[in-house]
């Protein structure tokens, strides 16, 4: 019973969740490899490299992206389908409240991007990339989760016959190539980042389905399964996140209205699998913990949107313009994802805390805990 309880608790809600536990896992002998000034230079060197290579290799163009959206549009990202993480909403009393707007701060640009593909006239094979900023107020603030989120949110138009694992894997490999190249780039500019304690990223990552990982570690909850598998493979792409696995639980909860986690696929041995989406995770040698870099997938079509909303008890979402656009075939079929900027920079610059590469708010308890370990967050 305890195992099942742990698995259920591990489905959503990122972050460690307890500062006593966080204090145990923060490195005791940490020292940053770069000065604060060098770190800023390295941050923008890595960012420019990644943006340029993502756009070149995936045929994307950089576009502007909203920070706030109309609450009635249904375009905001709910992140999980259990309603545990809700956006910040506020009232704009425009024109003495005669023409007001109820707005939300975006949690991600996932749905907006697909609508933007149509707005900017993207044909299959063309796409967009954004320097996205968001606020996620329901996160537990630890060493690699903050309320302030920055991502390379990207989306690419595809054809119906490209909605398969081959396209997903090819796209993941292209993104991985850009990340590995960025690591080499910043290490060339800042040789201090070449430290034998922190091995470089492998040239290739390993593809594993969430069902396969469950078979490997059937008694472990999700985060512990990821930790265990990263001891064998230092960089993995976990396929099929959202569909209930053989133990009755999804690997992790996923929203029902963007990634396709319900489509049936086949393993090499013919076993039935589900899902055209997944996450890149690596082993972080500084924090000695699992480290997620990106979540992405082939997006739902009209059929899989309905099926996923029905399974999630959210068919009422079909009233929103975004969902109507998919059902009516007005929005392009697409593949897309979000690559965590600060998460990636934290890894490449070998920092122990997200706050060393991004500026946001942190609770006093965390700042004091970090300072005692020579970890100084930006403010």
What is this structure's pTM?
A: 0.93
Active-site entry in 104, 107, 146, 295: 295
What is the spatial distance between Cα 297 and Cα 280, in angstroms, rounded to a whole number? Answer: 11
Cα separations (Å) of 292 from 94, 123, 339?
40, 30, 9
Phi first, then psi: what are they for 135, rounded to 5°?
Answer: -130, 130
> Which residue from 275, 266, 271, 272 is spatially nearest to 300, judged by alpha carbons?
275
**Which ranges in the chain belong to alpha helices (H)?**
2-9, 19-25, 36-58, 94-97, 110-119, 165-189, 210-216, 222-232, 302-312, 321-327, 341-348, 364-371
pLDDT at 81: 60
Catalytic annotation on 312? no
Question: Token pair for residue 271?
Answer: 């076993």
What is the spatial distance between Cα 106 and Cα 86, in angstroms, rounded to a whole number? Answer: 10
Indicate whether 9 pLDDT > 60: no
Catalytic annotation on 56? no
Catalytic annotation on 151? yes
pLDDT at 1: 43
Please provide the average confidence, as pLDDT, over all residues in the chain: 94
CB atoms near residue 357 (< 10 Å): 24
Active-site entry in 104, 151, 162, 358: 151
Helix, strand, coil percent values for the chain (each to nearest 5): 40, 20, 40
pLDDT in tens, 331-374: 999 999 999 999 999 999 999 999 999 999 999 999 999 999 99
Element (H, E) at 70: strand 68-70
What is the spatial distance between Cα 143 and Cα 130, in angstroms, rounded to a whole number? Answer: 25
pLDDT in tens, 36-67: 999 999 999 999 999 999 999 999 999 999 99
Active-site entry in 10, 77, 153, 226: 77
Q: At 285, is the pLDDT very low, low, confident or very high (cuts 50, 70, 90)?
A: very high
Region of poorest pLDDT, from 1-5, 12-16, 261-265, 349-353: 1-5
Q: Looking up tokens 């549009």, which residue turns up?
A: 73
Catalytic annotation on 224? no
Going along the chain from its start, the domains and CATH numbers come out as 2-6+35-371 (3.30.930.10)
pLDDT at 82: 66
Q: At 144, is the pLDDT very low, low, confident or very high (cuts 50, 70, 90)?
A: very high
Catalytic annotation on 5? no
What is the spatial distance between Cα 176 and Cα 204, in angstroms, rounded to a whole number? Answer: 8
**CB-based contact 284:291 (threshold 8 Å):** yes
Q: What is the DSSP string of 171-235?
A: HHHHHHHHHHHHHHHHHHH-GGG--TTSPPPPSS-EEEEHHHHHHHSTTS-HHHHHHHHHHH-SE
Active-site entry in 85, 114, 136, 222: 136
> Which residue from 174, 115, 80 is spatially nearest to 334, judged by alpha carbons?
115
Active-site entry in 51, 144, 252, 279: 279
What is the spatial distance between Cα 366 and Cα 141, in angstroms, rounded to a whole number? Answer: 8
Catalytic annotation on 77? yes
> Partners of 157 in the beta sheet?
334
pLDDT in tens, 52-109: 999 999 999 999 999 999 998 888 887 766 677 899 999 999 999 999 999 999 998 9
Question: Token pair for residue 288?
Answer: 């000695």
What is the spatial distance between Cα 294 and Cα 308, in angstroms, rounded to a whole number? Answer: 22
């Amino acid at each position: 019973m305890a195992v099942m309880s742990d698995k259920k608790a591990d489905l959503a809600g990122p972050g460690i969740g307890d500062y006593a536990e966080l204090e145990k896992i923060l490195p005791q002998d940490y020292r940053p490899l770069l000065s604060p000034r060098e770190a800023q230079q390295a941050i923008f060197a890595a960012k420019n490299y990644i943006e340029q290579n993502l756009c070149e290799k995936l045929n994307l163009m950089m576009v502007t992206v909203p920070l706030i959206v109309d609450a009635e549009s249904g375009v905001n990202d709910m992140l999980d389908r259990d309603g545990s993480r809700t956006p910040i909403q506020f009232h704009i009393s425009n024109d003495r409240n005669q023409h007001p707007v109820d707005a939300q701060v975006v949690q991600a640009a996932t749905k907006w991007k697909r609508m933007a593909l149509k707005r900017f006239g993207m044909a299959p094979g063309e796409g967009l990339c954004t320097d996205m900023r968001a606020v996620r107020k329901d996160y537990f603030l630890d060493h690699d989760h903050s309320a302030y989120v920055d991502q390379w949110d990207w989306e690419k138009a595809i054809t119906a016959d490209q909605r398969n694992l081959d396209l997903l894997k090819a796209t993941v490999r292209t993104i991985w190539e850009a990340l590995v190249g960025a690591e080499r780039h910043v290490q060339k500019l800042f040789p201090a980042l070449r430290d034998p304690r922190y091995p470089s990223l492998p040239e290739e990552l390993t593809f594993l389905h969430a069902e396969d990982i469950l078979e490997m570690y059937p008694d472990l909850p999700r985060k512990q399964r990821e930790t265990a598998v990263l001891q064998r493979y230092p960089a993995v792409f976990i396929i099929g996140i959202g569909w209930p696995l053989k133990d009755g639980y999804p690997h992790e909860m996923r929203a029902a209205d963007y990634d396709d986690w319900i489509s049936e696929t086949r393993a090499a041995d013919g076993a039935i699998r589900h899902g055209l989406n997944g996450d890149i995770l690596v082993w972080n040698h500084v924090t000695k913990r699992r480290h997620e870099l990106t979540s992405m997938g082939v997006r739902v079509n009209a059929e899989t949107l309905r099926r996923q909303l029905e399974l999630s008890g959210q068919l009422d979402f079909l009233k929103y313009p975004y969902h109507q656009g998919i059902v009516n075939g007005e929005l392009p079929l697409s593949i897309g994802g979000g690559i965590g900027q600060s998460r990636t920079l934290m890894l490449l610059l070998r920092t122990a805390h997200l706050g060393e590469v991004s500026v946001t708010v942190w609770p006093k308890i965390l700042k004091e805990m970090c300072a005692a370990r020579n970890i100084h967050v930006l403010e």
